[in-house]
Amino acid sequence: MTSAAAPKKDPWDLPDVSGLTVGVLGGTGDQGRGLAYRLARAGQKVIVGSRAAERARRAAEELGHGVEGADNAQCAQRSDVVIVAVPWDGHRKTLEGLREELAGKLVVDCVNPLGFDKKGAYALKPEEGSAAEQAAALLPDARVTAAFHHLSATLLSDPGVESIDTDVMVLGEVRADCETVQALAARIPGMRGVFAGRLRNAHQVESLVANLISVNRRYRAHAGVRLTDV
């Protein structure tokens, strides 16, 4: 008798995410604006969130492509997928204040906890292990993933840049959630979303940005990461 095992699922067979609304908390910061711009330009419905609704609305207007602005709570409530792009020092407080709004949502943490001194950037280690694990601890009813750490805000925001040559490492505990985020990354020309492990391995992905900052200084580049042989 031969084995009746199901054929292994193709890891590139990703869901259609074109109908999802994506919220970006911290959508008025450099990283958040850049991500919002790229996703909206790719046809995604995007809502940028900020503490002040008025600031979010102004940012949305500048971004165009149908982007809307709202305060963080409204942004979270109205979105299916919520990207967390706030500064690290506002991370805990922002998420604590949105526990109810984020219940049941697919949360994508892209925050890089870094310190800076005269020798450059260095990794900060959150007590939960990583920013993503802190989000998971603060949001027990949300589905937390981590992604979009290594993108250059400069490239994201430059309308003249058609394609961004980089992979997005996606981390999480639930395969379907990771695949949704991978599909979202893949909507942006030049990007792939690549599954890269569980949340307990998020710290090094977040911290690698310190190294990319060194690379950028030495080579005057906007370095990204591509995984080879994948």
Positions touching a second copy (CB under 8 A) are 11, 119-123, 125, 152, 155, 165-166, 169, 171, 194-198, 200-201, 203-205, 207-208, 210-215, 218-219, 221-230
Residue 133, helix vs strand vs coil? helix
CB of 3 to a second copy, least distance (A): 18
We find the least distance from the C-beta atom of residue 200 to a second copy, in angstroms, to be 5
Residue closer to a second copy by CB (options 21, 216) is: 216
What is the rounded distance in angstroms from the CA atom of residue 131 to the CA atom of residue 111? 6
Nearer to a second copy, 74 or 157 (CB): 157
In angstroms, give the least distance from the CB of 147 to a second copy: 12
Question: Cα separation of 24 and 50, whole Å?
Answer: 9
* Closer to a second copy by Cβ: residue 74 or 211: 211
Neighbours of 122 (CB within 10 A): 12
> For 45-57, b where at least 16 C-beta lie within 10 A, e where not — what string?
bbbbbbbebebbb
Residue that has been written with the tokens 């710290």 in this structure = 203
In sequence order, the 6+-apart residues with CB closer than 8 A to the CB of 10 are: none
Q: In the complex, what is the shortest distance from the CB of residue 46 to a second copy, in angstroms, rounded to a whole number?
A: 25
Nearer to a second copy, 45 or 150 (CB): 150
Spacing of C-alpha 212 from chain mean position: 17
How many CB atoms within 10 Å of residue 73?
Answer: 17
Q: Toward a second copy, which CB reaches closer, 26 or 113?
A: 113
Min CB(44)–a second copy separation in Å = 23
